[in-house]
Amino acid sequence: MNPFLERLQQAVGPRYHIDPEVDVASGGMGMVVRAHDTQLDCPIAIKVLRPEQATAAAVQRFLREAQILANLPHPNIVPIRDYGSRHGIYFYIMQWLDGETLAQRLARGRLSMRETRQLADGLLEALAAAHHHGVIHRDVKPSNVFLVDGRAVLTDFGVATARSRSGEKLTEPGALIGTREYMAPEQIAGDVTPRSDVYSAGIVLYEALTGREWRVVDAPERADWSGVLPTLRVVLQKAVAWAPADRWADAGEFRKALLAAFDPAPWLKRAAWSVGIGSLAVLGWIILAAHRSPGICLGDFKVLAGPPAVADSVQRWMLGKLTGFTDFQVRTGSGCSLDVAGWLSVVGESLHLQTRLPSGPLPLVAATTNDWSRVAEAAVDQIVTRLWYEDNPLGQTFPPLPVTAQGKLAELKAERLQAAGRWTEALAAYLEAEAIDTTCWLCAWRITDVQRWLGQPLVAVESRSYLAPAHLKTFPSQYQSLIHAGVVPMPERLDTLQRAVRDRSFFLAWFHLGDELFHRGPIYGHARREAVEKFERTVHLRPDYAPGWEHLAYIRIAEGDSAGALAALDTFKRLGDSTDAMSGVLQAFHEVGFAWRFLAPAFAARVTQQVVERPVVQRFPGLAAGPRLLPTVDAPAGAVWLGNHFAGSAGSTELRRSGLIAATAGWLALGRVDSMQATAARLRAAFPEPAIARFVAQLSAAVAIFDPGAIVDPIRGTWLDALAGRRAPPAPPGPVRRLLSADSLARAGDLRGALAASAPLAGDSAAQDADVFLRTALFLRRAEWAGNADSVELARRILHWHEQSSLEGWPTGDPQPNDVDWAFGTLARWRLARLLDRAGASDRERCDAYGNVARLWRGGDALHAARADTAATRYRELKCPA
């Protein structure tokens, strides 16, 4: 026993016997040792103040800690049994906690949902008890929370602050107290309240739920919330808000909201059983955001004369007519941004109705009782018109409506269809509205957007009447930002959209920002997962916006979040309409993508077979694109299966050709180079065309150059040979010559010169289309140069390029650059993982890269299977989530 423990044994003996075999736990001011209580015959813990720290202030603080614990009897707070001092040693006796700290548990990976709920319940119950007694912990962190038989126990009140019954503060202000990584911003200045503990507990629970460290202390809006259910996220985001006033008032309020998010009310559970898990998420948002209620509330209409049932019918009719618009929501009751009241009377055959907004009454409308719906329709038109042009409590975010009544009604019909994700019908409705009333500037903008989503050629520039300055200025500033973003090139487009989301309540800006980050962001250095939070923000602000849920389902499948993907997909199905051609096709694609991403191959094949046979899928003109799009959700095995399925099709040449292209690229992504070559030979034999012959030759050459040893006897004679130092055919396209020129600089040792020379080409997506293999070669080469030049961050951003899904139309014809990008995506991840290993960088990103390599290459040929084994080993060594 060391000398200090001998002194401590003298101080606590003879009742307590210190166990010298158990490691001592040390902190800044004290240490904890295990001992045995000889009277009660049980293990206990002794906390002792370090003698070298035993100043008068420290002794007083140590005593206060013991007093605080003694006055907080609670099953989730470590109990104290005694306090004493002897021979200059100050100590107190606690119950021995036979378990591990949360920090130790998190070292093995994130907690399950059940474990996180138990942790939240116990930790927040303990803090609520402390707050009730006027105690603020000030140092809530994983190492101060023990997990004992599934129960969270809060320890270490050594820096807690408390007030006496008279309000006198019992702890002295002084140096920075707490742990910086978990400390609330105001705590640095010494200004602590229960909201400070709420902030710290929110970070602890975020880390428990995600397995990720909170790395955004100074910028919480940049936090990575991927994988966190929306119902939980909204509660946790409020807990970690920067401003104390924006947080939950105390731990009790926080606990109540969080447990409600984990455990919805009974009626909500019944709704979940009947309509699916995705609806549960939507309803959760509605409940948690009910106090905000951004929209219109229809109150009960007062009946001055006549039967009361008429008022109910009118209100319900108006509710239906006001439901489903893109720019606002409606419900019955009160407490919204705009509360609508009214009265009606029935005298003889006449019905009179007057509605009232907060700004005053609207004109009286009348009709016969047999035609009461005309009265209700006139009232709806009055409300919408006034809302749009005069009284807009929802913020100045409404676009201009057409001038004529017919045009207005046609445009509002199209808006409902678009918000429901019924894109095919919405496009027809917008075109009809524009034909009815040429002042429908919003129609022209929406047409462009919907055509882009449908993969159709965009309307002619002269049809974009909304771009005329006189018309553009009629849009509110937020819409002007969105319109401007649609006509500027990348990456300026992203900057424009980032400015648009400064209005944090404008859900369309969040949706468009997520859309750009998802589809085109990776080409410009953004990881695809950055889009997740944008789509989640979209559906948080508008839980009934079907396109938001569809995009959220898409990206969650791609990012491997099975539970989140299922929730979003279920909600999209509920809000959308599978009879709409595009909506039905998207639902089918996501079901197939989900099956190949998360289910066993045999089961995924059965799901795919059933989905492909649906009439809405069979009628889809872009059906041949199906297998070539599956890599966008990281499902190359599905691309191979469906591609081979189409290749065996007796009827359609387009299906067979596109299927073989997909299968060829899919085999490479799976590390099956022999299978890639065999399928490429089938493709070339079946379709002896210049574009196919060029694709097969370049694919062979690219594999030999970028994955040495993966292919034997590659095909020569393409411009790619120049990247290997061999003679290449003369006169390649201009953008290819620019890459080869930069490569010459790199070969001469000027890596930074090569990066500078190729940078304009890396930012010019149109130039990258000059050759099917140009973008892949460009980004793989630039990542090599950046890594060799010690520009790890640049190389890291470059190696995400393959996550893009930037498409012009449906890929049903000749091979496209996307096909090649996705085929080399697994190799890019392997390079990224090794790069980050050498740099000792982000474990989250390394885990993602190694996990995907292990998943995709585990069935590959010898070279790639060996890499998959290495990736799996590194995944375990990094303690990545199971």
**Is residue 429 domain-resident?**
no
User: Of 342, 364, 390, which residue sits at a domain end?
Assistant: 390
Q: Which residues pair with 92 in a beta bridge?
A: 47, 83
**Is residue 618 domain-resident?**
no
Q: Is the pLDDT of residue 217 over 50?
A: yes
Q: Is the dihedral of CA 79, 82, 83, 87 positive or negative?
A: negative
412 vs 540, more confident: 540
Q: What confidence score (pLDDT) does residue 874 get?
A: 95
Q: Is the pLDDT of residue 69 over 60?
A: yes
Which residues, including other chains, have CB under 8 Å from residue 653's CB and lie 6 or more apart? Answer: none
**Is residue 528 domain-resident?**
no
Read off the pLDDT of residues 786-827 as tens digits, 9 standing for 90 and up. 999 999 999 999 999 999 998 878 899 999 999 999 999 999
400 close to 438: Cβ distance less than 8 angstroms: no
Q: What confidence score (pLDDT) does residue 700 get?
A: 95
Read off the pLDDT of residues 779-796 as tens digits, 9 standing for 90 and up. 999 999 999 999 999 999
Distances in whole angstroms, Cα of residue 407 to Cα of each of 313, 317, 457: 27, 21, 25
Q: What confidence score (pLDDT) does residue 158 get?
A: 61
Q: Is the pLDDT of residue 369 over 90?
A: no
Model confidence at 460, pLDDT cuts 50, 70, 90, reads low
Q: DSSP letter for 575, please.
A: H
86 and 235 share a domain? Answer: no
Q: Is the pLDDT of residue 81 over 90?
A: no
Q: What is the CATH number of the domain that holds 328?
A: 3.40.50.10070
Q: Is the pLDDT of residue 292 over 80?
A: no
**Using N-to-C axis directions, what is the helix angle for 251-262 and 194-210, rounded to 10°?**
30
831 close to 675: Cβ distance less than 8 angstroms: no
Read off the pLDDT of residues 691-734 as tens digits, 9 standing for 90 and up. 999 999 999 999 999 999 999 888 888 999 999 888 877 888 99
Q: Is the pLDDT of residue 387 over 50?
A: yes
Q: Is the pLDDT of residue 162 over 70?
A: no
Local structure of 696: helix, strand or coil:
helix
Q: Is the pLDDT of residue 108 over 70?
A: yes
Which structural domain range is residue 325 located in? 290-390
Q: What confidence score (pLDDT) does residue 703 get?
A: 97
Q: What confidence score (pLDDT) does residue 458 get?
A: 60
Distances in whole angstroms, Cα of residue 211 to Cα of each of 433, 534, 844, 847: 50, 21, 9, 12
Average pLDDT in the 764-782 region?
94
Read off the pLDDT of residues 472-530 as tens digits, 9 standing for 90 and up. 776 777 778 888 888 888 889 999 999 888 878 888 899 999 999 999 999 999 999 99
Average pLDDT in the 47-62 region?
82
User: Of 369, 390, 411, which residue sits at a domain end?
Assistant: 390
**Is residue 446 domain-resident?**
no
What backbone phi and psi angles, to 5 degrees, belong to 75? -65, -20
Look over the chain and give the mean of its residue pLDDT values, rounded to a whole number: 84
Q: What confidence score (pLDDT) does residue 846 get?
A: 93
258 and 117 share a domain? Answer: yes
Q: What is the CATH number of the domain that holds 782?
A: 1.25.40
Q: What confidence score (pLDDT) does residue 173 get?
A: 42
Q: What confidence score (pLDDT) does residue 227 get?
A: 74
Average pLDDT in the 90-108 region?
88
714 and 862 share a domain? Answer: yes
297 close to 322: Cβ distance less than 8 angstroms: no
Burial of 261 (0-12, 13-18, 19+ CB in 10 A): buried
Average pLDDT in the 646-654 region?
88
Q: Is the pLDDT of residue 196 over 90?
A: yes
Which residues, including other chains, have CB under 8 Å from residue 702's CB and lie 6 or more apart? Answer: 720, 773, 776, 777, 820, 824
Q: What confidence score (pLDDT) does residue 482 get?
A: 82
Q: What confidence score (pLDDT) does residue 25 get?
A: 65
Q: What confidence score (pLDDT) does residue 284 get?
A: 34
Q: What confidence score (pLDDT) does residue 480 get?
A: 81
Local structure of 770: helix, strand or coil:
coil
Which of 220-229, 249-258, 397-406, 739-748 has the lowest average pLDDT? 397-406
**Is residue 550 domain-resident?**
no
85 and 140 share a domain? Answer: no
Q: What is the CATH number of the domain that holds 222?
A: 1.10.510.10
218 and 321 share a domain? Answer: no
192 and 316 share a domain? Answer: no
Q: Please give the share of the chain, as a percent, with pLDDT higher than 70.
A: 86
Q: DSSP letter for 613, please.
A: T
CA distance 97 to 460: 72
23 and 77 share a domain? Answer: yes
**Is residue 703 domain-resident?**
yes
Q: Is the pLDDT of residue 70 over 90?
A: no
Distances in whole angstroms, Cα of residue 210 to Cα of each of 202, 227, 526: 12, 7, 21
186 and 86 share a domain? Answer: no
Q: What is the CATH number of the domain that holds 58?
A: 3.30.200.20
Domain count, the chain: 4
40 and 189 share a domain? Answer: no
Bridge-based pairing state of the strands 135-136 and 80-86: unpaired
734 and 836 share a domain? Answer: yes
123 and 208 share a domain? Answer: yes
**Is residue 817 domain-resident?**
yes
154 vs 24, more confident: 154
Q: Is the dihedral of CA 190, 193, 195, 196 positive or negative?
A: positive
Torsion of CA 658, 661, 667, 673, to 10 degrees: 160
**Is residue 58 domain-resident?**
yes
Q: Whole-structure pTM over 0.85, yes or no?
A: no
Q: What confidence score (pLDDT) does residue 470 get?
A: 66
Average pLDDT in the 249-274 region?
63
Q: What confidence score (pLDDT) does residue 22 get?
A: 66
Average pLDDT in the 843-869 region?
95
578 vs 476, more confident: 476
847 close to 878: Cβ distance less than 8 angstroms: yes
Average pLDDT in the 291-300 region?
66
845 and 700 share a domain? Answer: yes
User: Of 366, 390, 414, which residue sits at a domain end?
Assistant: 390
Q: Is the pLDDT of residue 172 over 60?
A: no
Averaging pLDDT over each range in 263-277, 386-400, 600-614, which range is the top one? 600-614
Q: What confidence score (pLDDT) does residue 176 get?
A: 45
Q: What confidence score (pLDDT) does residue 465 get?
A: 60
Q: DSSP letter for 227, please.
A: T
Q: What confidence score (pLDDT) does residue 169 get?
A: 45
826 close to 669: Cβ distance less than 8 angstroms: yes
